[in-house]
Every structure is written in structure tokens, then in C-alpha cells.
Amino acid sequence: MIVIDVPDPDHDAELAFWRGVTGEKLDVVARHPEYHGAKLGGQEFWMLIQRLGEGPARVHVDIHTDDMDAELARLEALGATRVHSTEDWWVMRDPAGLLFCVVPDPPGVLTGDNAQRWD
Amino acid sequence: MIVIDVPDPDHDAELAFWRGVTGEKLDVVARHPEYHGAKLGGQEFWMLIQRLGEGPARVHVDIHTDDMDAELARLEALGATRVHSTEDWWVMRDPAGLLFCVVPDPPGVLTGDNAQRWD
């Protein structure tokens, strides 16, 4: 999954732009309304647009896992470091200093499907 | 396609990390050896790692098209601006200021397949 992080003043224009580019509606994510996104046509691949409270625009990668503890340990062994966790996911830093997220899958977090809860 | 741009000093560690994460070999791109990449397993989706001569690490999106002129015009109408072109692709800026690339498809550019040439 790819996430485009956008400061609030640019958010609406950016969301409209990527809706146009992808041809997807990029619906709001009910559980996390700072995100809009969609699975891109014909691919097991999501694009999300995140409204940021602060910080510069950037792009980051999400890694999905059905075993969070094992995946965090695997990524640490590969050279990533833990930055912080939220209720639903972990933020890590890769060897070049780029942030990425590790997100539980299946992504009830994103679909708002309460059949899956990790909190 | 997603591209992870990495300054030279961090490049080799970053490439090794993302090889481990994806489980893909991320081969060098013959025609553009500053890139390593692979189609990720089971998806019509590429990840590339680019060695940068300068500038900070970042992630950017590539958009593929089989009609470069039409796609550039479409993206401009949506709000993107042209930044510069290379021999093979265009760099554009989105409404939040993020750079992305527009790449001709089929990607002979990336596979090194000389059956497709745009220069």
C-alpha cells in the first residue's frame, strides 16, 4: 500500500488530483477519517491520501501482516527500527531514515469492518 | 509503481533491507543502473530503489502510460505541472508539491528490452 501524506491546506486539492489520476472515488476510511483511499483497479494494491496535522507532504509505504509481532521482529532483524505505535499499527524507520507503517491484515482497520479488531 | 529514492551512502543498506522485506531479488535495471527493482509477487506492481546523486531520501509514485502526450495533458488538466523530462520519462509535481514520474509503458525502459525504444 502506498500512502500520500498531505498537510491540511493542500489536502483537498491533492485528494481531488489523485481521484482524477486513478479514476477511483477514494472514499473516506470510516474508522480513520484522516484517510481516503481505494484499492486500485484490478490490483491488490491500495492508495491512501492522509490529511496531516503538521509536517511536509511525503509518500510512504505500508506493509501488511497477519502476524504483527513476527513481522516487527523480522523487520527489525532486517534493519528497521520502531518509532511509535498507534492503536492499530506501528510506525517504523528504514535504513535510509524513511518512515513506513506496519498494518494488521486483513485490514478491518481500513474497511471499518468490525469483525476484525486488534484493540 | 513505487520508487524509493536513496542517497548514495545509504543505498546499499536500503536495497538490502527492501530485498529482505519483499523477498524479491530487486535486480539492477540494465538500461538505468541507478535503479534496482522487481514486480512484486503476484501483483502488476513494481518497486524500484533509486540511487540518488544528491537530495534526501524520499518515496515517489510512477504513473505508466502508453500515450505520453495524452497522459501529460490529462495530468496537467488535473493540476499537475511539468518539472523536467529525461530521455525516457517526465517528472511532474502534484498539487501538494510532491514529485512523481510519468513513464512510457510497455516499460522497455525498465526491462532493458530494446524492442521498445522512445529515444
ipTM for the whole complex: 0.80
Write down the pLDDT at residue B55.
Answer: 82
For residue A91, pLDDT beyond 60:
yes
CB-closest option in B18, B43, B59 to A60: B59
* Residues of chain A contacting residue B59, judged by C-beta atoms under 8 Å apart: 2, 58-61, 98
pLDDT for position A112: 44
- Which of B94, B100, B102 to substitute to test the interface with A, most A CBs within 10 Å? B94
Beta strand A46-52 pairing with A2-7: parallel
- Contact yes or no for B42 and A42 at CB 8 A: no
pLDDT at B64 over 60: yes
Confidence band of A42 (pLDDT split at 50, 70, 90) = low
**Chain-wide mean pLDDT for chain A?**
85
Whether residue B28 is predicted with pLDDT greater than 60 in this model: the reply is yes
Q: How confident is the model at residue A105 (pLDDT cuts 50, 70, 90)?
A: confident
How would you write chain A as a 3-class SS string?
CEEEEEEHHHHHHHHHHHHHHHCCCCEECCCCCCEEEEECCCCCCEEEEEEECCCCCEEEEEEEECCHHHHHHHHHHHCCEEEEECCCCEEEECCCCCEEEEEECCCHHHHCCCCCCCC
**C-beta of residue A81 within 8 angstroms of C-beta of residue A93:** yes
Confidence check: pLDDT of A54 > 50: yes
What span, in angstroms and rounded, lies between the C-alpha atoms of B106 and B44?
A: 12
**Model confidence pLDDT, tens digit, residues A10-38:** 999 999 999 999 889 999 998 889 999 98
Which residues 75-104 of A have a C-beta within 8 angstroms of B? Answer: 75, 78-80, 94-98
| Higher pLDDT among residues A111 and B10, named by residue | B10
Is the confidence at residue B46, as pLDDT, over 90?
no
Chain A contact set for B16 (CB, 8 A): 78-79, 95
Average pLDDT over residues A41-52: 82
Tell me the mean pLDDT in the region B53-58.
Answer: 87
